[in-house]
Structure 1
Amino acid sequence: MAKIVKLLTRLKSNSFFQIIQRTLVILFPFALIGTFAQVLSTSFLSVGGFFGSIFKINAWLPHYQALRILFDDLSQLTLGMLTIAGAFEAAKYTAKYYQKDDQMAGLTAAICYGLIFFHRMKGNTVTIEMRYYDYHWLLVGIVVGYLVGRIFKRHGMDAQQQAPHHDLILNRAFGALKPIFVAVFWALILHAVFGLVRFYRVDSYVLNAIQNFTNQPSSFTFTMMSALLTTVLAWFGFAGPLAFSTKVVETEVWDNLSYALSHGSSWKIPHPYSASSLYHSFGTFGGTGVLLALVIAMIVASRNRNSREVSQWSLFPAIFNANVPMMFGIPVLLNPLYLVPFTLLPLFNMAVASLFIWLHVMPPVAYPVPSGTPGPLIPFIGTNGNVMALVIGAFIIVLDVLLYLPFIRLAENVDQAMLREGGRTNETA
């Protein structure tokens, strides 16, 4: 254990890793606000949402659709723009680490990232793909910001420590011209490359390849493989194959539902081990990575006050399977301390659920579930109220909490080791 702590401490002390961690944490408040807005829109203000359907929101709340649009806009302008903010913060922290002009570096990175994915198609039409600006592309934004910060390290002037003054600010602006020109030059190169990618539809071919990968008849083995790929990509911040719906998946969902409706139960549906029956029903309690269990474990057992506070704020969205606040606030995203449980616990949940389905203890999930349904209730509602599905879902989340505890202890030991190392460094200095 001591060797593992030492290795992780060394990794976490790396400057690039530190920049990633600081960038994610500083974006936490915006991720939290955006996620709250998303949950309210999806679960509470939608006619097809969990609480919206239970309380018949359209029957008594005037202008509920306008309210939903309002929260959707708030979500889009927070979660939907996190990558731009991530590029800004990563460049700022990088430049500050090397004692260069951090504000100019941050502004340059934000502009460069926007320039890369902004282009005109034939007919002089401006096309902006907003998917490149939301949190799923945050890793790319951080890398762009880090590289811009390194450009400022190489070509920029040292940071001005004097009090603000017109002449000093002007000198600062002129001192940043060279790294700005260099960064914008490379951003223009990438802008042209991205334009060619879009013109020749390379991105569409990649997306189709991912969809074709999932466009296969479901089986236990294939569903588990797809889930593993999905969780690994989610740890890097990207959407995995199970985030895409395909014709085969839609056909299997309808086959299962048709059988369940015609026979009055889902006990013998034709596709019991599909992604809908396993991954979306048991592998996403609190979102990808089963982060509802991490939230509960942090609140109950963490000795770190900041981690407990982040978890308390993240509990509400995690109940409704929104994991972005925990991904940023702890952070879990790109954090090697949580890689193993984040990627493997969903598979563990699916394996346990499959065992109980195979033993005929509970039926597989086949019925539709309202959007924004709390994770542990999805198996219960999706089996048309089977009590054993509710019990097994609760049993699985308890196991998940227990399995997250050792990793919380490991993370806290690494943090303590870093504090000791920092103390020794200060004493030596």
Structure 2
Amino acid sequence: MMNKFETFMSKYLTPIANKMDQNRYLSAIKKAMVAMTPILLIGSFCLIPEAIPNMIGPNNPISQWITTNLDIIYIPYNVGMALLSLYVTAVIAYHLGKHYKLDIPGVLCMAIIAFLMMGVDYGEDGGIKSTYLGPKGLFAAMFASIIAVELFRWCKKKNFTIKMPESVPDFVSRSFEMIPISVIIIGFFLIIRVVCVNVLNTLPPLVFTNLFAPLVGSMDNPFAVTFLQILRCLLFFCGIHPSVLSPITSPISTQFLAENIEMVKAGGEAIHFFAPGPESAFGNFTGTGVTFGLVFWCLLSKAKAMKQVGRISLIPALFGINEPILFGAPVVLNPIFAIPYVICGGIIGSIPYWMMYFGWLKCSTFTPPYVGVFLEGYLTNFDYMSLVANGIQLVLSILIWYPFFKIYENRELLAEKEKEEKQDIFSAEDQALLDDLHLDF
């Protein structure tokens, strides 16, 4: 039965995967997300130390040292993940410009300027705010980089450039060629910003976010929560951080939490299950989409690359961080992993919400600090059933990911074998014979 299932999935998913790899836009986005793996990994590890004082107590040398040096520990995060969209813009523009064989420095400059014109916000003191330069600006980053490169290519195709005599040095000539292109690209994105700010009364990145507002609606409903979990997984699968939805969902969940606390203080019971604590502890158990099953099987994989990804992803997964496995496996834009991640992952992430809805699990009255899996879930409601809920999620994740993992592992093993065969075209005896002939080509 399993072999038939794997054959069926390989027959229909592999062609889709190949077509997606050949699409220039999806390919550029995918390569950009994979290129962000070191930044995401370092940034994720920077968040782990904050949880240690909560686990071992604050009154010890280790916790005190961490608390004292948190500002230093967060520096890689602040210059890495906090500026993620800026880096994604540059990498997408690089790969797309390379595909079109355009001037890479010019393409990078135009794409970055285009994104900054859409995503930069200013504080009351006139300083630049990095709100939309991080994961929340990924929609705008993808849009800006792709449109900027396409405008760049269109200008070159239509010869909207300034031609200099051949006697002029190449670097000077290229600078003059960029002037009309710069005017067109900057003018285009300036118009977008002006329209969004003055007509829509919002920054461009929020326009993308607001498109999802009607889909979210009232979240005090298990069907809506399940849909939201699937939507988050779908966004992450496309390389877009689901935090873009937080401006819509956070006010609702915070209000529900406040009402739960008031109900308990009045001697009643909490009734709202959509709250910040469960979002992290249950909805994002081991990471958005409950990807621990994939981490587990990667650790046991025969493919060297996947085994290494599993090792790197294990500790972050225990703290609810799954960017290493999402971009390392990768899960992002990988059709083979679409079903277990987007659909099954979204459903598994919503199971504890259904348990709250039916009264099998207490609703949240507390948003715990970042203390890792299982303990975080317990602290949201101080109900031991939360451990059962997380246990169910863990087991289902391991079971569901197995057949899809095996399909991808077989592809990886085949690729490794082909690579080894290319490296070992000649046997040791053949190579020695060739050496003895002293052939000089």
Instruction: Return the TM-score normalized by structure 2.
Output: 0.74
**Superposed, which structure 2 residues align to 1:227-246 within 5 Å?**
227-236=229-238, 237-238=240-241, 239=243, 241=245, 244=248
Distance (Å, rounded) in 1 between the aligned partners of 2:234 and 2:334:
12
**Superposed, which structure 2 residues align to 1:139-150 within 5 Å?**
139-150=139-150
Distance (Å, rounded) in 2 between the aligned partners of 1:420 and 1:144:
40
Q: CA deviation at 1:4?
A: 2.7
For the pair 1:52 / 2:53, whether they are aligned, the reply is yes
Aligned 8 A contact 2:273 2:364 in 1: no
What residue is the counterpart of 2:161 in the other structure?
A: none
**Superposed, which structure 2 residues align to 1:48-197 within 5 Å?**
51-57=52-58, 60=61, 61-62=63-64, 64-118=66-120, 126=126, 128-150=128-150, 153=153, 170-172=169-171, 174-175=173-174, 177-179=176-178, 181-183=180-182, 185-197=184-196
Extract unaligned runs of 5+ from structure 2: 1-7, 158-165, 420-441
What residue is the counterpart of 2:284 in the other structure?
A: 284
Percent identical pairs in the alignment equals 17
Distance (Å, rounded) in 2 between the aligned partners of 1:173 and 1:410:
53
**Superposed, which structure 2 residues align to 1:250-399 within 5 Å?**
250-257=254-261, 269-271=269-271, 273-275=273-275, 279-301=279-301, 303-350=302-349, 352-353=351-352, 356=355, 362-386=360-384, 388-399=385-396
For the pair 1:7 / 2:6, whether they are aligned, the reply is no
Structure 1 counterpart of 2:18, which letter? Answer: T
Q: CA RMSD in A?
A: 4.0
What residue is the counterpart of 2:29 in the other structure?
A: 20
**Which of 146-155 and 21-30 deviates more?**
146-155
Distance 1:137 1:116, change over 3 A: closer
Distance 1:193 1:389, change over 3 A: closer
Aligned 8 A contact 1:242 1:275 in 2: no
Distance 1:420 1:376, change over 3 A: same
Aligned 8 A contact 2:261 2:270 in 1: no
Distance 1:11 1:63, change over 3 A: closer
Aligned 8 A contact 2:230 2:343 in 1: yes
Specify the SS of the correspondent of 1:232.
Answer: helix
Distance (Å, rounded) in 1 between the aligned partners of 2:272 and 2:118:
44
Distance 1:19 1:219, change over 3 A: closer
Aligned 8 A contact 1:148 1:183 in 2: no
Extract unaligned runs of 5+ from structure 1: 44-50, 158-166, 423-429
Aligned 8 A contact 2:113 2:186 in 1: no
What residue is the counterpart of 1:409 in the other structure?
A: 406
Q: Give a deviation string over 1:64-92, Cα, whole Å, max 9, x none.
A: 44511222332121011122222222222
Aligned 8 A contact 2:28 2:95 in 1: yes
Q: CA deviation at 1:366?
A: 2.4
Structure 1 counterpart of 2:170, which letter? Answer: N
Structure 2 counterpart of 1:55, which letter? Answer: I
Answer with 1 or 2: which has the greater Rg: 2
Aligned length: 396
Distance (Å, rounded) in 2 between the aligned partners of 1:413 and 1:176:
49
Structure 1 counterpart of 2:29, which letter? Answer: I
Q: CA deviation at 1:330?
A: 3.1
Aligned 8 A contact 1:283 1:345 in 2: no
Q: CA deviation at 1:218?
A: 1.2
Aligned 8 A contact 1:259 1:269 in 2: yes
Distance (Å, rounded) in 1 between the aligned partners of 2:297 and 2:99:
34
Distance (Å, rounded) in 1 between the aligned partners of 2:254 and 2:199:
29
Distance 1:274 1:111, change over 3 A: closer
Q: CA deviation at 1:181?
A: 3.9
Aligned 8 A contact 2:273 2:363 in 1: no
Q: CA deviation at 1:336?
A: 3.6
Structure 2 counterpart of 1:6, which letter? Answer: P
Structure 2 counterpart of 1:317, which letter? Answer: P
